[in-house]
Structure 1
């Protein structure tokens, strides 16, 4: 491709991704980067979008000042891709037993010292076991005088439990890291956990049995989930239609009550009057949304699903994505184009009555607290402490699960009331699993490396500590479908019922705090499909805007159609994806940079825009007490490549109004402390 054609392709790709290019020199430098790193224009723009999101930049402009940092980002991406790429060759021995088979044919090598023997083995493979590091691992694991050990990244498993690294084992890149348990960011750092009954920090007696027992949290699951072993991939077009239709009707009913006016479903009817239309945002092609490609699809029941093009020139600020249900106020004089003057992108709700009206009947609740329904509010409340992390839980160059081991060791020291672990646990994208370089089943890896470690943690900390496990569609040992059933309890050694198995997504109550969680990277999916426009001079936080879509649309996954690989089954418990009540804490693990954001959802409908000239109404700023707040947490990934990632500690202080007699209880956002740490 000629340089000029490449620059034009880059200009078009940046425009479709809603990025402005500073000048032609920037385009020329970007074209040079494409040539140097052998990238297409679309690939470079995708990398820029990831760079933009991870840096949490507010200005959507590609400038010369950022290109040097972007070049370093591209170099790091290329390096990681090169390291993860398997080495070619005629044959590489994937297991220790392949090596032992050849050794048995060479009697001279039977009693060779391990260091010498590892060099002899490498002669049988043209790739030298892929690296010198793997030679060292084989030398330490395959010695004739060494007894069989539990499974490592290449060896077979035993029933004795997870593999323990010995002093002779070579240090992995993860083990050589220096920034251990460093605080990366803190929200509400001024809050402190009461420390009245705990051992003094300067005490030399740290014996575990002297620590006070952990008080168990009462967990109540509020959302349904598919049953374990359910059948999936059987959804019909009718099922998809009914699910999407239900979302449109639900939004229209709530909007009609809030606006106290008639709501129509068909915006394609020619009319000189201002109408309020409810429909679903669609794109007129296969590409990304832009100003010229936004369509509004109405209800199939009332207008046959007819679509009309939206004219958004009068909307100074907006955020749209495919599948979003919105209310559009405007005029359609020709019948071919609806000129929008106002967009309502939030389902109206009443913050004071929402939780009580949408709560499931007591007879249908799953109360997981030693099999008994309990009273949520006790006379003496204890702070809620949660340690949460999202997979992968092992580095991409081995299956030692060192990050998980260090996380559980940290949990033993901190002794949180809840340990929330979000998948994937056996990552289907792990190079060793993806390339078939293990001789264990994925179920056996989960049992040996994850389940036994968690059971040991529960036994050591005591029956008051709780563990919540959330699956992921990337789990190689579990059903890859969304919504996703919880893990099976079969073979789980949990006599005290400390381990709670949740579906994906899920909504549960921990004493007086409601928590929503999903392991699907919905933030990244939304970021790649969103079309946004920010009013000139106004500040905009893209992560807050993306996360707000989850609670504004009352759906853990409002995007439709989903990107390839999501495995979204609309017929499989569609209620599981619905956010029936706004959670106090929303946990959205993502490959994007970890963050803590406070989302504010108004009790009245949020106006995406207003225009006096068009007769639309201006959005009225709401007082702080009129907003329903939600703390959104992206804990990040516990492991990133071969290095460590991040995890999160959450502290929620008790509601002071329960014993001080206050009329207005403080929101959870004001009594929560969130700390993001490196593993």
Structure 2
């Protein structure tokens, strides 16, 4: 499916003289992504729906009605993968191969220009030791553009006109905490002392590549059974439940059962297709569930739940009560106090910047958004910069059509090299997180970290390579990171009947209460899950203070049961610029009343 963006939807609406705001366009874009629709298709569906309803006005409320009455019924399981695979795997003719060979010959002289600017920038930086702050920084800030010059890895690409003409640069689009009067800057050169490490240490973390495609169905079943048993024991203890009854045992009294939610077919889950699958200790059977007596519920395939209800025949459970999961405790560490009580040791605030790829517009492999991001890093000088993939996007049109003239590894190395060189004058800590969409990396979940053998010793000290997913510890504050679009995946499968809660908060709460970074089962087709590794490296060791969950859906930053959850958006959206996030964190002790205080002081999502 071709990329859909708000501009396409707006142009389709203009054909019918329909004018709307950005919030409505974002909502329609979200509906396109969830139902695998093109911009023109959803507009035609809306016009037809509006006409049958007597000319409804386009608003958020009518879009909700439109989604409930049309989209949820008509587009439950619309196939959208076959076309993408067909375009990716089609056979090329001799003419297209001849054009590619000719383009590579013309590109040889062009690629020779890449080495000269890099050497020149290093030479300038070394010959000005008396002014390291001004001249060295200026030389290094210019180096990303030089390394990426002529800013393209394909012979036919030109700089994106829509990206260069974008509006609202630097506009704050989402806020959290006390942002009034906040100074968004790092600690000015003290980043060498920033403590940054994987929470569980290198021995218990995924730091190396591993062999995959060898798991057996029996092993997958064992992992799922252990998940049901572990979460079931937590729920039993928390809600003082004596014991669980077998799901398929007939009983005339109310029973309490434990199991995993699943669907009775290969389609999308709905209120009439919910099954509860018990573990071996509860009989290992499946039973249909009647949700009509539940006022509020939010369910998705793979969710471990405890239900109370009637099962008089043993063939259907009429649920009357649903027990929600329990999140893990937060990380706690004592804060050192000075011997002199008049001068307490108050930790300084740290600035953390978060950005997620792709770092190129969809109409070309120009890295202009990446260069702009490096300039922002040089201006604000954050203490830590977390960069999530994709860096070389497998969904990019020119990569799908094999129009690049360098290897994927070479493009990635040049991209990362420009980031490292461009931020050398700032000295901030860099964290690189891989993505399932990185075409040059292992396409497996959990995903091992990148390998950068060409880093110098000085650069390696401030570069941290982590897997997807992972839990980081930054100055006593825990960060949960995943570049997999779990919001989009779970949003397409979740069903709910809940008043006063938004879908994002429900999904994020599910992640925290199910205690892992990808609770959906079965996973979507584009996620290749290794369940044995997932059991060891995909679980949350604790509830993170900050959870980073980038998604194609609308950006946000919000508090969910004490965890500050951030979707920074993507740095580019189609042919135009996207957003990035920035946070101010400060490790603090609980208040006098014993209530936990979030270490995230303030946060913003900003347009690039």
What TM-score, normalized by structure 1, do the two folds share?
A: 0.67
By how many angstroms is 1:336 displaced?
0.9
Q: Does 1:456 align with 2:421?
A: yes
Q: Does 1:164 align with 2:149?
A: yes
Deviations 1:123-177 (A, max 9, x none): xxxxxxxxxxxxxxxxxx89x9x894239xxxxxxx99722259xx866432232
> Is the 1:385–1:652 Cα contact (8 Å) retained in structure 2?
yes
CA RMSD of aligned residues (A): 3.8
By how many angstroms is 1:39 displaced?
10
Q: Does 1:649 align with 2:582?
A: yes
Q: Distance in 1 between matches of 2:61 and 2:205?
A: 37
| C-alpha distance 376-543 of structure 1, shift in aligned 2 (>3 A) | farther
> Is the 2:550–2:567 Cα contact (8 Å) retained in structure 1?
yes
Partner of 1:672: 601
Partner of 2:252: 272
Following superposition of structure 1 onto structure 2, how do residues 295-306 of structure 1 map, counting pairs within 5 Å?
A: 295-303=275-283, 305-306=284-285
Q: 2:413 aligns with which of 430, 441, 447?
A: 447
> Is the 2:235–2:325 Cα contact (8 Å) retained in structure 1?
no
By how many angstroms is 1:420 displaced?
0.4
Q: Distance in 2 between matches of 1:641 and 1:523?
A: 19
Partner of 1:616: none
Deviations 1:533-578 (A, max 9, x none): 13xxx32311111111110111111100011111111122422111
Deviations 1:376-397 (A, max 9, x none): 9993411021110111011122
Partner of 2:300: 321
| C-alpha distance 191-301 of structure 1, shift in aligned 2 (>3 A) | same
Q: 1:222 aligns with which of 199, 202, 209?
A: 199
Q: 1:416 aligns with which of 382, 385, 396?
A: 382
Q: Distance in 2 between matches of 1:662 and 1:584?
A: 20
| C-alpha distance 269-214 of structure 1, shift in aligned 2 (>3 A) | same
> Is the 1:193–1:651 Cα contact (8 Å) retained in structure 2?
no
Q: Does 1:637 align with 2:570?
A: yes
Q: Does 1:478 align with 2:467?
A: no
Partner of 1:288: 268
Partner of 2:242: 262
By how many angstroms is 1:641 displaced?
1.3
| C-alpha distance 394-36 of structure 1, shift in aligned 2 (>3 A) | closer
What TM-score, normalized by structure 2, do the two folds share?
A: 0.74
| C-alpha distance 35-549 of structure 1, shift in aligned 2 (>3 A) | closer
By how many angstroms is 1:260 displaced?
2.0
Q: 1:62 aligns with which of 41, 48, 66?
A: 66
User: Which has the larger Rg?
Assistant: 1
Q: Distance in 1 between matches of 2:484 and 2:312?
A: 42
Q: Distance in 1 between matches of 2:45 and 2:502?
A: 26
How many residues are matched?
Answer: 500
Q: Distance in 1 between matches of 2:186 and 2:448?
A: 40
Following superposition of structure 1 onto structure 2, how do residues 385-396 of structure 1 map, counting pairs within 5 Å?
A: 385-396=351-362
Q: Distance in 1 between matches of 2:145 and 2:483?
A: 30
> Is the 2:185–2:351 Cα contact (8 Å) retained in structure 1?
no
Following superposition of structure 1 onto structure 2, how do residues 107-506 of structure 1 map, counting pairs within 5 Å?
A: 148-150=112-114, 162-165=147-150, 172-190=161-179, 192-193=181-182, 213-214=190-191, 216-223=193-200, 224-264=204-244, 266-303=246-283, 305-347=284-326, 351=329, 355=331, 379-448=345-414, 450-462=415-427, 465-495=428-458, 497-506=461-470
> Is the 2:327–2:512 Cα contact (8 Å) retained in structure 1?
no
Q: Distance in 2 between matches of 1:324 and 1:529?
A: 11
Q: Does 1:561 align with 2:522?
A: yes
Please list every run of 5 or more consecutive structure 2 residues that lacks an aligned counterpart in the other structure: 1-36, 50-58, 72-87, 116-143, 152-157, 339-344
By how many angstroms is 1:474 displaced?
0.7
Deviations 1:59-113 (A, max 9, x none): 842189999xxxxxxxxxxxxxxxx9x9x99845897871586x9xxxxxxxxxx
Deviations 1:208-238 (A, max 9, x none): xxx6544542113125443422111111112
| Bigger mean CA offset, 184-193 vs 314-323 | 184-193
Q: Distance in 1 between matches of 2:437 and 2:336?
A: 34
Q: Distance in 2 between matches of 1:35 and 1:488?
A: 39
Deviations 1:645-674 (A, max 9, x none): 11011112452x59xx846465216x5211
Please list every run of 5 or more consecutive structure 1 residues that lacks an aligned counterpart in the other structure: 1-32, 46-54, 68-83, 104-140, 152-158, 199-210, 360-373, 601-628
Partner of 1:532: 496
3-state secondary structure, aligned to 1:174: helix
Q: Distance in 2 between matches of 1:34 and 1:460?
A: 44
| C-alpha distance 178-494 of structure 1, shift in aligned 2 (>3 A) | farther
